[in-house]
Amino acid sequence: MTATLCDPRRHGSNRHKVVSAEDASYLIQSGATVCVAGFVTQNCAEEVLAAVGKRYETTKEPKGLTLLFSGGPGDYGLRGLNHFRHEGMLKRTIGAHYGQVPSLGQMALDGKIEAYLLPMGSTSRMIRAAAQKGPGHITKVGFGTLVDPANGGGKVNSKTTEDIVTVVEILGEKYLCYRAIPVDVAIIRGTTADACGNITMERESLLGDNLVTAMAARANGGIVIAQVERLASRGSLPSRQVRIPGTLVDAVVVASDPKNHQMSFVTPYHPGYSGEVRQPAKLATFANLDDRKIIARRAALELLPNDVVNLGIGMPEGVAMVADEEHVLSQMTLTTEPGVHGGVGASGHDFGPAENYDALIELNQQFDFYNGGGLNVCYLGMAECTPRGDINVTRVGKKLTGPGGFIDISQSTKRVNFLGTFTAGGLEVDVDTDKKELKIVTEGRIKKFVATIPEITFNGSVALERKQQVKYITERAVFELTPNGIELVEVAPGIDVQRQVLDLMEFKPLVRLDPSTNDVRRMNANIFGVAIMGIRQSIFSPVTGRDRVAYDAATNTLSINLHNLTIMTVNDLEVHCAIVEDVCKPLGKRVNVVVNYDGFDIRGELLAAWKAYVKRLKDAYYTDNVRRFCGKTFYRHQLIAALGITREDSPK
């Protein structure tokens, strides 16, 4: 079989570009660099990839390919990029996430191919750099981790020797350069195409990196193969809906089998994920109060009004369930790395899209937002943790996963929370909801707080340099990152600190004792009860009078809720000041403070008095740990000027 196309390098011609998947597969030459768009189980050009794999099985061509990907689309089995699993077909893989393409991961671990693990955001922007004919993606993301050249530069095995991540100096500062890789073939996917190759994506769950992937191939004089669901007449597509212009596309493959063009490998089609309809979205709920819900509940206590949040795949997804249960989900914006802003995210193997989202942007743009400091807080998984607070999630046991968006997100977010069970392998817990205590029924066989790890996916020392606030949350213990290592700061009620925490760690952490009890502080007992914890009432709800000020002895934190409060007179100001002092004076010590300024207003002539009030309270009662939150950027800047504070201390 030979391809029936005209010369595929005649970009922009109005020739008829529709071909079969088999014919399209013959456009890929041995030794080519093939870049495939898609995210986890979403947006995968399955029919094209299957045809390429079948061609190799039949002809042993194309061989020696370099496979470049960010999201690594696959079904955790034999579909998606797993069609490239045949020995000899691949020379090298460069990707961010191998979790759903285990066959490729195993080939890398076995040394059958060269392989790189790189951050998803950097891989995505490497492709974008290739589209611009630039040298690569320049960033500080990755220092101190497995992708740092000092730690191997993301190389998986000894067969992998070429350096594609290097250190460069620009204007006196050091950065990592992720080299742009010229793309010979781009395999992308959309919904509708016309004969000229113009492509829309109205029935796709994500935009992903389809456009920049096509542009990268076009910039290198390469081939762009686009799989679609259906054809439209030439010139009939609404121009504002065209996501990939026909000038970039050489071959259009219309899926012959609907199973090869499902929205994802899990969901044939969901109109909520495509944005076709907005409908009542209800998150899944926990069946019972197990270890996952305990962790999610404790993690949810770290949420603050107006937070922009990233929830990682797996354990962190439970935080959204708890936030929904506590009726505070509407008070924050959830995001996912492939470009979703707002809404309710999909879970499990459908991770990535969301229902009722507010906006959808491309994957590379989302990481621009993340790396630029767009997130307030993130929740990520935790496989192994060291005394310095370093985390490994990329290579655990005999499984190669890769960092995905983990490195980009964890190195760019002010408040970072790692979630995971304290031990693994057979752990069973029970909760006495009457006593609100945790019981360990069967201890896990595998320790997760270990002396050393094979790779560093998160570097605690780098986080300290960047002044990030880092917590490690398990079902029985909470740790914080300090300059001297991780510190045990909380344990669950019913847990023996020595026997069920310290003795099960390969190292001795710092231990913070509560002066009032000379023991480790206990986790919030409401976590272990039947009723909801009341997060909305404690900090999120608009309340009045004395209820606006709450003190949590466990964390020594004063919460001041100014939501929708308007200060109209000097008396209003003095009344509120008196309420705060009435709470603080009896404590006899300085307190950490969280202030919610969302919806707050004050008459202009009272700003000077308000500034004096804030200074008086801070000088008398507050520690240096004062966090302020405000949902409106304009008003936030007004407060910075009015209170005479630095941007670092300003409302977020």
43: left (phi over 0), alpha (psi -120 to 50) or beta: left
Question: What are the strands of the beta sheet with 359-360, ordered from one edge?
Answer: 359-360, 340-341, 333-336, 308-311, 377-381, 415-419, 469-473, 477-482, 485-491, 510-511
- Beta-carbon contacts of 467 under 8 Å, excluding residues fewer than 6 positions away, are none
What is the distance between the alpha carbons of residues 461 and 147, in angstroms, rounded to a whole number?
Answer: 16
Q: How far is CA 634 from CA 24, 364, 597, 637, in A?
A: 53, 28, 12, 5
What is the distance between the alpha carbons of residues 37 and 16, in angstroms, rounded to a whole number?
Answer: 24
What is the distance between the alpha carbons of residues 1 and 51, in angstroms, rounded to a whole number?
Answer: 12
Q: ∠ at Cα 213 (209, 217), nearest 5°?
A: 175
SS3 473: strand
SS3 20: coil
Give the active site residue among 46, 325, 337, 355: 337
Q: How far is CA 135 from CA 139, 148, 182, 269, 362, in A?
A: 13, 18, 10, 39, 21
**Which parts of 233-360 fold into alpha helices (H)?**
271-274, 291-300, 317-325
Is 490 a catalytic site residue? no
Question: What are the strands of the beta sheet with 192-193, ordered from one edge?
Answer: 230-231, 192-193, 199-200, 242-244
What is the distance between the alpha carbons of residues 652 and 642, in angstroms, rounded to a whole number?
Answer: 15
What is the distance between the alpha carbons of residues 540 and 594, in angstroms, rounded to a whole number?
Answer: 12
What is the distance between the alpha carbons of residues 562 and 462, in angstroms, rounded to a whole number?
Answer: 35
Q: How far is CA 39 from the centre of its chain?
A: 13
What is the distance between the alpha carbons of residues 364 and 120, in angstroms, rounded to a whole number?
Answer: 9
Q: How far is CA 439 from CA 315, 493, 522, 588, in A?
A: 20, 9, 14, 35
Indicate which residues carry an active-site annotation.
337
